[in-house]
Chain A
Amino acid sequence: MKLFATKIDTTSERTMVVDDMILTKDTPTTAGSKMLDGYVSLFEAEALTRLKNAGYALCGKANVGEFAIDLLGETSQNGKIVSGGKLINASAEIVSSGEATIAITLDVNGSVRRAAAQSGLVSIKPTYGTVSRYGTIPVACSGETVSVMAKSADTCREVLGAIAGHDDKDGTSLSEELCARVKQNESAPRKVALLKSMTVGVDGEVAEKLNAFIALLTDNGVEVCEIDDEVIATSRIAWNILMSAELCNNVSRYDGVKYGYRAQNFSNIDELYTNSRTEAFGELLKTAIIFGSETLSTENYMKVYDKALRMRRVIVEAFAKIFESFDAVLLPACSTLAYTEETVSANKYLAFEENLYTAPASVSGLPAVVAGGVQLIGKAFSDSALLELAKLLEKEGK
C-alpha cells in the first residue's frame, strides 16, 4: 500500500501529512500526475508555513488522485490503494493509522470529505477565503479550499485556528476580521435542516449513519426538520461545469515547455504540446479538460458556462433562504461508505456523480464539516459552530 508519495521521518509528536496538491519546498509535489513527476516547487504553501510555526512537523506527502478530482485518489500516477476490495484514501488512512496527527488537503471535488466519512474521521472544509490558497496546485480556484482532517473536532478546530487568516499573497483572501470569525466560539446550531432529496440514493449504511446522527441531535435538544432542496441538488451540475472549465484553463500551463513531463518525440511546437499532454495526463483528467474546453468555447459560453455562474448565485441565495430558519443543513458526504474496485471500474465518471453531496459546499463556498460519516453545511464563518455539533458524537463515544 503506497500511502506516501514522499515520506519524511520525524520524531515530533504533532505531525502532519499534506496531500500532493500542497506545495512543499524540498520534496516533490506532483498533484498525483505523471505530468509533474519530480516537480519541486520554489516555495511552500502558506497553510504549511503557518502549521510549522504552530509546531506541527511534516511527516510526508500523501498520494492524491490526479489533480484531486477523483473519488478517493484512485487516479494517482502511483496507482490506486485498495484494502479488502475497498478503495482507500491515502491522507485518511495515514491519519487513521496514527502515522500523522492531521492531514492538510486541497478539497477540489470532495474526495477529502468522502474519505473522512468513510474512515470515520472529522474534516473541515473552511469558509472560502478564510484559509490562503497560496501554494496549492490550482484546479478549480473559485471553490477549492485547503481542508483539515483529524481524529477529533477539537484538533480540527485548533488547526483551523492556526491556518485561517488574511494573506496578502492570495487576492481572494478575506480580511483578518472576517477570517477571525471562523475561529470564534459560537454556540452550536439549534435547528438543522435535513436535505430530503439527498437521502434518497444512499445505501443502508449511510442511511444508518444519518439516522444515528439525527437521533443524537434530537437527544441533545437540536431540532431536525426535513426540507425540500431542488435548488441545492443542482449544485453538482453547476460545479461540474465550473470545475472542468477552470481545470482546463489551470492545467494548460503543463505543456512540456518549461517543467514537468516532456514527450521524447515531436517535430514542432504543436506536437510537443500534444504529445506531452497525451502521454502524461490520465483519462479522467482528459475528460474534464475536453468537457471544460467545450463549456468555455465561444459557441457554448453563454449557453453553458454563464448559466453555471448564474446557478451559483441562485444556489447561494437558496442557502441563504434556508439559513433564515435553520443554523445548518445535514446531508450525506457520499452514497456509500465503501467504493469497491468493481463499482469504480464499471463507472469511470463516478466522481462526477458522487459529487452530488460535496458540490453544494464547493459551489457556495460555505463551510462543511464531516463527522460520524455524514456532512453538515453551515452559514459562512460558522466553521467552529459546525465543529461543536461534531463534538456531540465524541461525547457520545460514537
Chain B
Amino acid sequence: MKYETVIGLEVHVELATKSKIFCSCSAHSYGADPNAHVCPACCGMPGMLPVVNKRVVDYGMKAGLMLNCHINRTTTFDKKSYYYPDLPAAYQTTQWFAPVAVNGLVEIETSKGKKGVRIKQIHMEEDAGKLVHDIREDTTHVDFNRTSVPLIEIVSQPDLSSAEEVEAYLERLKTLLRFAKVAECEMAHGTMRCDVNLSVRPEGSDKLGVRAEMKNMNSIEAIKRAIEYETARHIDAIENGTEVLRQETRRWDDIKGKSYAMRTKETAGDYRYFPDPNVMPVVIDDEWFDSIKASLPELPEVKRARYTDEYGLSDYDAEQLTKSIALCECFEKAYEVCGNAKDVANWIISEAMSILNVRKMTYDMLDVDGKALGELINLVSGGKVSRVNGKKILSAMFDDPHIDPAKYAESNGYVVSNDTGLIEKVVAQVIAGDPKAVSDFKGGKEKALMSLFGRCMKELKGNCDPQVLRTILIDAINAL
C-alpha cells in the first residue's frame, strides 16, 4: 500500500526587539554571561508587574501580515502554568484566547510546483530560561537571560507532506520574517526552533493517523532526517505491527538518528490557561494598524521582477541582490544617488558580497549605507577615485558605516591627481631607476612595460588615470 505523510509545524521565532517582552532588560544574550540580563520582573519575583513592550506587538503584527493573516484588533495575553526550574514564575505569559494573528497563508515552491500552506495562528509569548547541567558536580544551574525574550509561535495547519516541503516552508518563513526585519531566524542560534507534528495514513484517505510531536531538532537537516525516520517508523508499525502507535511527544536524537518517546497524551500536564489579569487587552486601532501595514517591505519576488523590468538587470543579478533585505536596501539607495543600476549591482555583488563572505558575515549583516555607496560609485565612475582605491574605501565603510567616501578619499590621499607634471616626474624617476626594463621594452618585451607601469602607479598611490599614465610612460620611453 502507498502512504502519505501529514505534517504540521509549530515554529518558534525569537523577535529581534531590543528589550524583553515585559521588562526593559536586553533581549540579546547570545554569548553573554549567565544571568547578566535579568531583573526582578523576568526572574518572576513577587511584586513586579508586566508592562507590554509595544514593539513586540508591532513585530507580531508585521509577522502576521507577512504571512497573510487576519490581525485580531483586540489581542489578549494569558497565563500558562507549569512547573519547571527554567520558568521562574511557574507560568508563561502567552496568547491562548485571542492571538495576534490568525488564518494566514504561505506559498511555497518545491520540485512538485507551488503550494499554499495555511497558517492557523501566530501568537506572542515569552521564552523560558535555560538549564545548564554540570556533570562533574552533578548539579544543575539556571540561566534566566532568555526568560521573557519575546517569541512568536507560528502554527501551521497539517498541510505539508514531505521533508522537501517542510524545508521550503521554513526557508520561506525565514525570508518573509527577515525581510520584515522582525527576526533573525537562525536555527543555530536558537532564534528559530521547530516542532514537527507528523502522522501517516494510506494515500487518499481522509482520516488522520496517530500523531507524534517531535522536538529538539536544531537544524533543517535534522528536521528532514527526523521526518524521514518518523515516517518510516509509522509505516513499519502500520504494515508490520512492530509497535502500537500512540499520540505522544518524542525527542529527536540527531547523533543516533532516532526519536524517543518523552510523554504520552495521558501523562501530559494540564496547563490551566486563563486570562492574565495584569495585562490589559491590547487594542490595535486603525492608526496603529495602518502604520504597520505601511511599513511592510516589498516581497523579494516582487523586487526581483522590478529589478529586471525596471532597472534592466540580469536575472542572476536580481537573484543575488534579493538574497537579503539589507542588500536590497543598499542597492536601492545607492541607485537613487548614482542612477546606474548595473554599476551598483556590480559593486554590491562582486565587492560588497565578497567582503561579507570573507568576513564570514551573513547577507543580512550588511551595514553599509546605500547613499554612501552611491556617492563612492560616483567618485569612481567620475574618475575622481581609482577603482582599486574605491575598493579600499568600501572596505573601510564596512568597519565604520558613518564614513563619507569623498572626505575619506581626501584625507587618505585616494583622490586621482590631474597633475601631469607630478606624473611626468614619477615616470622620469622610475625609468631612470630601471634602464634594463626600458631596454627590454624597447626590445619588444610588453611585460617590461607592465612592470614599469605598476611601479609608477604604486608611487602615485593609484591616484591616476591609467590611460593618462600609460601615454605619458610610453612617450617618456620613446623620448629617451
Contacts and interface: CB of A to CB of B under 8 A. Distances in A.
Interface residue range, chain A = 35 or more
A339 interface: no
Contact of B91 (A252, A259, A297, A298): A252
Given A142-B277, A171-B279, A296-B272, A252 B45 contact: no
Interface stretch (A133-141, A201-209, A377-385): A133-141
B81 interface: yes
A252 B49 contact: no
B277 A141 contact: yes
Interface in A295-353: 296-298, 301, 305, 309
Interface residues of B, number: 29
B81 A171 contact: no
B435 interface: no
A258 interface: yes
B201 to A, nearest CB: 27
Instruction: Across the A-B interface, give the 6 residue pairs with the lowest CB-CB distance, nearest first.
Output: A252-B90, A142-B277, A296-B272, A141-B277, A135-B47, A253-B89
Contact of B47 (A136, A246, A293, A309): A136
A43 interface: yes
Contact of A172 (B43, B142, B280): B280
Contact of B49 (A133, A142, A296): A133
B79 A249 contact: yes
A170 B270 contact: no
Contacts of B50: 171
Nearest to A305: B274
A252 to B, nearest CB: 3
Contacts of B441: none
B278 interface: yes
Given A41-B45, A135-B47, A172 B278 contact: yes
Interface string A101-143: 0000000000000000000000000000000011111100110
B443 interface: no
B46 interface: yes
B51 to A, nearest CB: 5
Given A43-B40, A255-B90, A257-B142, A168 B277 contact: no
Given A41-B45, A141-B277, A168 B270 contact: no
A314 to B, nearest CB: 17
A134 B49 contact: yes
A45 interface: yes
Contacts of B279: 171
A133 B186 CA distance: 39
15 contacts: A43-B47, A135-B47, A141-B277, A169-B48, A169-B49, A170-B49, A171-B49, A171-B51, A248-B272, A249-B81, A253-B45, A253-B46, A253-B90, A301-B273, A309-B275
B339 interface: no
A42 interface: yes
Contacts of A390: none
The secondary structure that dominates the A interface is loop
Contacts of B43: 258
Interface string A373-396: 000000000000000000000000
Nearest to A45: B47
A138 B277 CA distance: 11
A257 B85 contact: yes
A172 B46 CA distance: 16
B52 interface: yes
Interface string B454-479: 00000000000000000000000000
Contacts of A252: 81, 83, 89-91
A136 B48 CA distance: 8
A23 interface: yes
B83 A246 contact: no
A31 B47 CA distance: 11
B88 A253 contact: yes
B277 A134 contact: no
Interface of A: 23, 31, 41-43, 45, 133-138, 141-142, 168-172, 245-246, 248-250, 252-253, 255, 257-259, 269, 273, 293, 296-298, 301, 305, 309
Given A171-B50, A258-B88, A269-B85, A253 B280 contact: no
B142 A171 contact: no
Given A42-B45, A43-B40, A171 B52 contact: yes
A134 B48 contact: yes
B76 to A, nearest CB: 12
Contacts of B413: none
Contact of A249 (B47, B48, B91, B280): B91
Contacts of B270: 297-298
Given A138-B46, A249-B272, A297-B270, A168 B51 contact: yes
Given A169-B49, A258-B44, 10 more contacts: A43-B40, A134-B48, A134-B49, A138-B278, A170-B49, A252-B83, A252-B91, A253-B44, A257-B142, A301-B274
A202 B279 CA distance: 38
A273 B91 CA distance: 15
A297 B83 contact: no
A245 B52 CA distance: 23
B274 A249 contact: yes
Contacts of A41: 40, 45-47
Contact of B278 (A171, A255, A273, A305): A171
B282 to A, nearest CB: 10
Nearest to A43: B40
Interface in B82-100: 83, 85, 88-91
A245 B83 CA distance: 16
